[in-house]
Structures are given as structure tokens and as C-alpha cells.
Amino acid sequence: MKNIYLPQSVIVTKIIEQSPTVKLFRFEKDKKDFELSEGEMVFIPGQFILVGKVGYGEAPFGPLSSPYEKRHIEIAVRNTGGIVTKLLHSLKEGDEVEIRGPFGNGFPLDFMIGKDIVAATGGCGIPPISSLLDLIMENRDKFGRVYLLYGAKSPEEVLLKDKMEEWKKENIRVIVTIDKPAPGWTGHVGFVTDLVKEIEIDANNAVATMCGPGPMTDALEKILRPLGISDRRIFVSMERKMQCGVGKCQHCTTGSKYVCTDGPVFNYDEVDKNVD
């Protein structure tokens, strides 16, 4: 039986600067594959792992790589000035860290099959959406129309540009907006909520997925609901400080829920109006 408390040692095999404050890290085991679930996936999009090092602590991150990729796991880390993020940003390729997980519940993939998908996120909220879109890309014929609505502060803060180009090749429409006009930028300017008018969906056969700060997801929900997408078909991946991963430390409570075990993916109506 797998010990959920036992960290796995992994090697940093790739580091890519995504923005002035965000780096992508690729982790691999030493000549071993990651363990697969019954669905032949390393994790379910929307689940999280804990990454850190003995003596420094650990922090939760949603993998952004394809869940079918058994040789490596990738995460994006913004240097917030905390102990763990500063440690990770100081790493070099070849260094070792420890990971635990995956933990929690991911997106309801079986329920999403055959439906139009609206994925909305901003900034560093894109990793769980990225792994979901990679899964959709590998099973494109099983889904309807798919949209990514993504917001960033500036062109330099747009993450995963290379992956966006790959998603576009699989008929996933990627719509990006930035907060303010910028030299050379010809795309949308404004809030992610403004992008909803760009989509065409069958609202009776559609689901929405979101990951990001509370004000953004709350504003999007108020736009999506009138389109006919009910709160039971809006799935939000919540961002919280998850420390133990198994519902014991109580750091990640939201209302009566533990984000680490009841989530991090919830139906919107499960967490709407929660006081955090």
C-alpha cells in the first residue's frame, strides 16, 4: 500500500522562465516512471502535489503537464518571497527535491465527456487547466467545443505560450486578455469576464471550469449562469494553503469543507458565499 506521507525524491531536469516571476519546473524520478492510476494517469487534472525539501517545508502546486506523461511532472512556481518558493527558484537542473501526492479530487472527467468546455483562469491559476486541456487534446473527439479564457497583467506575464499554440492545433480556441494596453499587443484588453461574449456553446450541454482568485471566479459565475450553465456544472479549482494534504491540519478550510480532501475541485454551489 502506498504511504501518502512518504516523500518521493525527484530530480529537476528542466527549468524554463515563463515570466519575470514565474518558472516552470520539470521533475523526474531516477530512471523510474511515476505510478499510474486505474485510468492510466499519473494524476487527475485538478489534483495537487506537495513540493519541498527537508528543512525548508513544502507547498501545494497543481501539475500542469499531461496526466498521461509518466516520465515527468511539471509545475509553475511564482516567487512570492516565501521560504519554499524562494528555494525552488534557487534550484538548478540536476538538483533534487521531494514531492508527495497526488492529493485531492480532480475535475469530473466522465461527466465532462461529450460536452462543450469553457475553461477560465488567470495568471498562475492556469496549471490545473493546462493539464485538463492536455487531456482533452489527447481525446479531442470525445469533447465538443473547447475554449480557454485566460487573463494576465501584461504580455510578459502570459504563461505557457508554447502550450497554447499546441492546444490551438487541436481546435481548442485560446482567447487571452491583458489588464492594460501594452506596446505591440494586438489582443484583448480587459477582464477575463469580458471574453465570455467571444464564445459559442450549447449551454444545455456545457460545463465550465475555473481556477483563480475568488473575485474572478465569483464574477465569472454571475456571467456563466445566465448563459444557462448552472452552478452544478461550474467546477472551480480553489487556491488554498494546503499543508498536510489529508484533512488533519485544518489550514485549508473553506466553510465546512477541507480543500485538500473535499476538493480542490468543487461544484461552484458547494463553496459559493463561503467565508475564508
- Domains in the chain, please, with CATH? 8-102 (2.40.30.10), 109-237 (3.40.50.80)
140: enclosing H helix or E strand = none
- Report the pLDDT value the prediction gives residue 273, as an integer from 0 to 100: 66
- Report the pLDDT value the prediction gives residue 14, as an integer from 0 to 100: 98
Say what the pTM is: 0.94
How crowded is residue 266: how many other Cβ atoms within 10 Å of its Cβ?
A: 22
Question: 214 by DSSP, 3-state: which?
Answer: helix
Q: Which amino acid is at 235?
A: F
Specify the length of the chain in residues.
276
- Report the pLDDT value the prediction gives residue 239, as an integer from 0 to 100: 72
Consecutive sets of 10 residues in the chain, 276 residues long: mean pLDDT of each? 79 97 96 88 95 94 97 96 96 97 94 96 93 98 96 96 97 96 95 89 92 75 80 85 78 82 86 64
- Report the pLDDT value the prediction gives residue 276, as an integer from 0 to 100: 52
Whole-angstrom distance, CA of residue 266 vs CA of residue 20: 31
CA atoms within 13 Å, Cβ hemisphere of 225: 11
- Report the pLDDT value the prediction gives residue 275, as an integer from 0 to 100: 52
Residues in CB range of 116: below 8 A, 6 or more apart = 143, 144, 145, 146, 201, 202, 205, 206, 207
